[in-house]
Amino acid sequence: MKKPIENLKNKFLLLEKTENENIKKLIKLYKEDPYHARILFMNNPKDSFYDYRLLVFYDGNEIKGAKNLDFVLFRQCFGISKTNRMYNREKVLIRVRVRGDKVWVCQDSKIRAYGCDNMILLPYNAPVRIERYVGSYLTGKFAWFKFIREEFKIYTKSFNYVTTHKLFNKKKLLCNYYGFNYPISKALYDLDMGGKTGGRNHDRNQFHNLKYYKDWITGEGKMNYEFMNNRWSLFTDMLQMAKTLDKVINLSWSDKRMILEHDKLSVELTDALYKYDNVKLANNKAFKLFSKKSKGYKLIKSSRDLALEGRRQSHCVVSYRSKIDDGRCGIYHIDGFTLELGIRSMEDGSKALIRVQIQGHRNSHANSELINKIDKDLDYFNKHYKDKIIPGKKYSGNLDANHLLGVNNVVAINNFDLVF
């Protein structure tokens, strides 16, 4: 059994502390009039009387050169009891342990490895940001970590994963993350960061998923990077369909060949599912309600109807079944077009239905009148039924598509090449 890591507690340095004026006011009033001090305390939120202090504990004689550190954020709570007695309590909110080349986060009686993408450590509402000090210390000590924080912010592995696998330079980090040799991994990194083609038409952190399709791709040495970047949605549809049908995609194909093969895969998958698969789709209640409250929107409710929609429109909407069952999207037929709606978190914390994409036969574009109607209907629905919008069970707050554009209270995707 592993010996538990002990907390450092002897030598420490104060990094930052708050001085809450509300606490000073409460203490002063308490000395003069305990009863009215209690009224003041009870009439304000408890967090109005919090103070914070951030300490770093270290071993050795001095902090410089210390191999082991503990960054600890304390919260001190002041209050007045029922018997009019003032009290104050202090607790540890979060502790970040640095032990040589390993880092852990201790919080709420749980221990986890420190993530390289931990730009913000809980608690969010604390005025003292422990991450600022932890991140600064680690970037100053580890050059590879500085590269991740400054140039590879999409990296999702933990600090301890990097040190365990000795990924201490850019080449090793990229090859491990993307799963190919360095030239290909570097090219995929450039695509993710928007540097290969001068722009990025997809969410960051997408191209590292390509390694999971190695059994169904070839031509990695001559990838059509421009197509992969500019037609990201169509390309990912191809990958998923190729995996499902056990077909192989050549990544060096021309744009025209890519589109042709995409359509072939779509037809084959649609025909197979139409013939052999017919189950009720687990549509999110919010998408059902939108269909009920808005005129002209036919919600696709079964896997066979989904396949039939793909057949009629000659696109691969049939591959969206898992997204529907997870509650992440709803598929509708309206005025000869296929519409995908999703759910998005808004700036005020509420949820809203959004237009992700609308495509016609062979992914033809809808006219502006229809798009305006959909956006208007979404705007109305989000204003009157936003309390009915509940994310799906696998909802993460982000869509599989791209950065979203605000249109009043509705978010719409207008300027990206999304296709079924």
DSSP string, 352-420: EEEEEEEE-GGGPBPPHHHHHHHHHHHHHHHHHHGGG----TT--SS-SS---EEETTEEE--SS----
Q: Which of 144-158, 235-249, 265-279, 397-411 has the lowest mean pLDDT?
A: 397-411
The token duo for 46 is: 């408890």
Digit-coded pLDDT (tens) for 226-281 = 999 888 878 988 999 999 999 999 999 999 999 999 989 988 888 888 777 788 99
pTM: 0.70
Q: What is the pLDDT of residue 415?
A: 37
Digit-coded pLDDT (tens) for 313-361 = 888 888 888 889 999 999 999 999 999 999 988 777 788 999 999 989 8
Q: Count other C-beta atoms under 10 Å from residue 54's C-beta.
A: 23
Strands 249-250 and 217-218: parallel
- Where do the domains of the chain lie? 11-163, 179-276, 285-412
The long-range contacts involving 350-353, CB below 8 angstroms and separated by at least 24 positions, are: 350/386, 350/389, 351/286, 351/386, 351/389, 351/390, 351/391, 352/378, 352/382, 352/386, 352/389, 352/409, 352/410, 352/411, 353/286, 353/287, 353/290, 353/378, 353/381, 353/382, 353/389, 353/410
Strands 351-359 and 405-407: unpaired
* SS3 of residue 125 by DSSP: coil
